[in-house]
Amino acid sequence: MRALETRLGVRLLTRTTRRVSPTQAGERLLQTVAQRFAEVDAELEAVTALGENPRGTLRLAATENAAATVLWPKLEKFLPLYPEIKIEIVVDVGLTDIVGGRFDAGIRPGETVAQGMIATRIGPDMRMAVVGTPVYFEKYGQPRAPSDLTFHNCINLRLPTHGGLYAWEFEKDGRAVNVHVDGQLVVGSASLILMGARSGQGLAYLPEEQVRSDIEHGSLIRVLEDWCPPFSGYHLYYPSRRQPTQAFSLLVDALRYRD
């Protein structure tokens, strides 16, 4: 580092007996070369992956529901086949910036994948469900239309990416309606929403698959079903400019939805 400072004629680090910290020039140089180092690291990983045994660490961003219903069932079979491939799953209910967060890929419903991304379908069509306990509906009645939800105690989901509350989305006969609901409880995870609904704290808006068993057993009652049509299921997405490693290509193929 001292040789580089001598060559440039500028101090890059401030040194004391207890610590070393970058100067303004050092910070600027670090910001400039950090991306280059990341690119070199990615290329080295790609070259390494060309070896006989696929290897490498893959970082994925997914919601709780996606991780539990479509990702984990396939990873259970995938991981034992490739012991040198490591998977890091970051659970996030927001619309994660996978490029800025240095993720290899993200998982979200197909219709929400941004342009410029390559998307691979990894799950069947989905439906949302509005549910509450029998006791709740006996006390407050059932909503007959999405607008009725404004008179109910609804459990809100806060999106960490934008900080706002998630609007409940409905559609019927080509008419789309978004409802900004209100209630006593605001949480940051789908599992907490389900816990709140099961305990009778209010109405929940969750993926159908997540509440299916509760509906079948009668612990939760579904309403507004005709306002919740199917939509494109979960997709694995990643930047089109990404150079996939062997490990990544194997994972994409393993997760690919086959009807």
3-state class percentages of the chain: helix first, strand second, coil last, to nearest 5: 40, 25, 35
135 shares its domain with 62: no
pLDDT of 114 strictly over 60 = yes
Task: Look at residue 15 in the predicted model and tell me its pLDDT.
Answer: 66
| CA proximity to 248, closest of 45, 95, 77 | 45
Given pLDDT bands bounded at 50, 70 and 90, which one contains residue 13? confident
Secondary structure of residue 19 in the 3-state scheme: coil
Same-domain pairing of 215 and 87:
no
- Do 7 and 69 sit in the same domain of this protein? no
Task: Assess whether 119 and 77 both reside in one domain.
Answer: yes
* Residue 186, SS3 per DSSP: strand
What mean pLDDT comes out for the span 199-215? 97
The share of the chain scoring above pLDDT 70, in percent, equals: 85
pLDDT at 182 over 70: yes
What was the pLDDT predicted at 130? 99
- Model confidence, pTM: 0.74
Residues 120 and 134 in one domain: no
**Is the pLDDT score of 7 beyond 90?**
no
Residue 43's pLDDT band, with cuts at 50, 70 and 90, is low
Q: Which of 29-38, 127-136, 200-209, 236-245 has the lowest mean pLDDT?
A: 29-38
Report the Cα–Cα distance between both ends of the chain, in Å, rounded: 57
Residue 237 and residue 149 share a domain? no
The whole domain housing 39 covers 2-13+20-47
How much is the pLDDT for 206? 97
The answer to whether the beta carbons of residues 196 and 188 sit under 8 Å apart is no
Alpha helices, H only, the chain: 2-8, 24-48, 64-66, 72-81, 134-140, 190-198, 208-217, 246-255
Angle at 12 between CA 7 and CA 17, to 5 degrees: 120
Query: Please, which residues have CB within 8 angstroms of residue 205's CB and are 6 or more apart in sequence?
Result: 128, 129, 130, 154, 155, 157, 166, 168, 181, 193
Question: Is 135 found in the same domain as 70?
Answer: no
Q: Cα dist. 248→96, 178, 235 in Å?
A: 19, 37, 15
In this predicted structure, what is the pLDDT of residue 96?
75
Query: How many structural domains is the chain composed of?
Result: 3
List the strands of the sheet with 105-109, edge to edge: 85-91, 56-62, 105-109, 234-239, 117-121
